[in-house]
Amino acid sequence: MSDRRTTRWLVVGVFAFSCGDQVLVGSSSSTVLKQIPTSPDLDVLFVIDNSAQTADKQALFGSDLPAFVAALDQFPGGRPNLHIGVVDSTLDLGVALPGCPSPNTTDDGRLQHIARISGCTAPSGNFITDVAGPDGSASPRQTNYSDTLDRAIACIAEVGAGGCGFEGQLGSLARALDGRNPDFLRSDADLAVVILTDEDDASTNPGSNGWAIPTPTSDFVLQPLFAYTCDRPITAGSETETYTNCVPRTGSYLTDIDALYQAVAKFKDPSQVSVSLIAGDPQSTIQTGSLAIGGAVQDPALFPSCSATINGGEMVGRPGIRLKAFADRFAPNSSFASVCQSDYTQALVAAAGTISTMMSTPCLAGTVDTTDADATNPGVQPVCTVVDQFDFGQPDQSTLTMPACPMLAATLPDPNGPRPCWWAAIDESCLPSSELAMHIERNTPAPPGTVVSESCAKAH
C-alpha cells in the first residue's frame, strides 16, 4: 500500500494534495535531501499591510476568505491540523516616527489576535488553533475560536490602516518566526505564508537611518530610492522619470532579500515553506515624479504599477519587486496575484494551490544521480538512504532506516516485499526542478510526528 496513493487530497477540483507526504527539500554539495512530515500539520501566517489606505483591501480579503477555508475543507481527510496567525507590516525602526512607534511591543512580528470586526470574537490564544482530536479523529476537533474558521481569521486579519508607512512585510515575517510567538511554529509542520499588501517591502537593517535623510520626506526615501538598482541611479524629483531593468538593490538601508530569505531559513527549511503574494504588479520598469492620488499630491512618488476599483473607490498598487524576488526564492512553492482587483477569491484559491505543491509533490528538488545501483531490481535504483524519524524534533526522537522496495516492474513494487520501503521512478512532471519522484510503501500509516528523510547522491 502506497502512502501517496491512498491519501490523495483534492482542492477545489484542481489542486492535488497528499496528507501522507509533505515535502521539505534541500541539498549539499554531494546529496539531495528531502524530508517528509507524515502528519497533515500546517502553520499558516498571514502578513497584512497595515499602512494607510489598506482598509479596503483588508475588508475585501476578509470577505473572500471562505474560498481559502473551502479549499482546506475539501481535503478528503478533512482539514489539516492548523495553526493560523496574523502579523502586520509595522516594524520597530529604532526611532519613533508617525505610525512607527519605537520601542514597539505590539507589532514588530508579534501575532495580532484581538477582535477587529464589530460583533466577532477573537481566538482565546495568540493564534487560531484547529486540530484533530487526541485520537486523530476529524470530529470533534480541538479549536480555540467560536465562529466559523473564515470569520475567525477575518476577525483578527483586518488589522487597520494606521501602521508604519515604511512597510516591513518581510522583516515582520522573519521576526514572527524568531521565538517571540511561542508555540505557533511547529517543527514538523509545513509553513504557508500569505502576504496582502499594496506596496513593496521596505524592511530596514537594524540601526539603519535611511528615513532620516531630509529630502525627500516621504517613503520615497526608502522605496524606491534605496530599494532598486535600475538602468541608471534613481533620483528624487518632480519630473516624470522612467527606469528600466529594476531589481532589488543590495547593500543599502534596506535588508537584502538574501538576508531575509536566510532569516526564514534559519527557523524552517525553505522547501517546507510556501509564499503567496497578493501585491502590486512587480514590473521591472518603474516611473517616478509628482503624483496626484487620493485627493493629495505626492512629490516625489513611485508611480503605481496597477489600479482597480473596490466598492466604488479607486485603489492602487506599487511594484512589488522585492517581494516577488523573495517569493521566487521558494519556487515552485510560490505564487503571485495582483492586489489590484475587486475579488480576491481566485488569489486565495491560488494560495491553496501553492500549498498543494509544497505538500504533495513526490519530486526530489535537484539533479539526482540516476545511475542504476542495483541492476537486478527493475526500474531506477539511485543511491539513496531513506529513514523514518519518529517523534521528530523531540528529545526522544528515534530512527528506522528502510530498505529499497523489491520491484516487479519499474513502477510496481513487490506486494510481498518488506514494509516500509521506498522506490524511485523517472517522472517528467517533476521537471524542471528534478526528473525523479520518490515513493514510500507502507502496510500501516506512520505514527503521528514522523518525518521521512530521503538523501540521494547528486549527479556530477
DSSP class of 295: T
Tens-place pLDDT, residues 342-362: 999 999 999 987 887 777 667
Lowest mean pLDDT among 50-54, 275-279, 314-318, 393-397: 393-397
Note the residue count of the chain: 460
For residue 244, count other CB atoms closer than 10 A to its CB: 11
pLDDT score of 22 more than 50: no
Burial class of residue 199 (count of CB atoms within 10 Å of its CB; 0-12, 13-18, 19+)? buried
Residue 136 confidence (pLDDT): 63
Tens-place pLDDT, residues 193-218: 999 999 999 999 877 766 566 556 67
Tens-place pLDDT, residues 36-68: 666 678 999 999 999 998 999 999 999 999 999
Tens-place pLDDT, residues 94-130: 888 888 999 999 999 999 999 999 999 999 999 999 9
Q: Can you count the helices (H) and strands (E) in the chain?
A: 8, 25
pLDDT score of 229 more than 90: yes
CATH 3.40.50.410 assigned to 41-360: yes
- Phi and psi of 430, rounded to 5°? -80, -15
Would you call 57 helix, strand, or coil by DSSP?
A: helix
| Bridge partners, 388 (sequence order) | 400, 452
Q: DSSP characters for 184-214? A: TS-TTSEEEEEEE-SS---PBPTT--GGG-S
Q: What band does 30 get if pLDDT is binned at 50, 70 and 90?
A: low
| Bridge partners, 401 (sequence order) | 387
pLDDT score of 278 more than 90: yes
Rounded CA separation 200/318 (Å): 7
Task: Specify the domain boundaries for CATH 3.40.50.410 within the chain.
Answer: 41-360
Residue carrying C-alpha cell 500501516 = 444
Rounded CA separation 151/129 (Å): 14
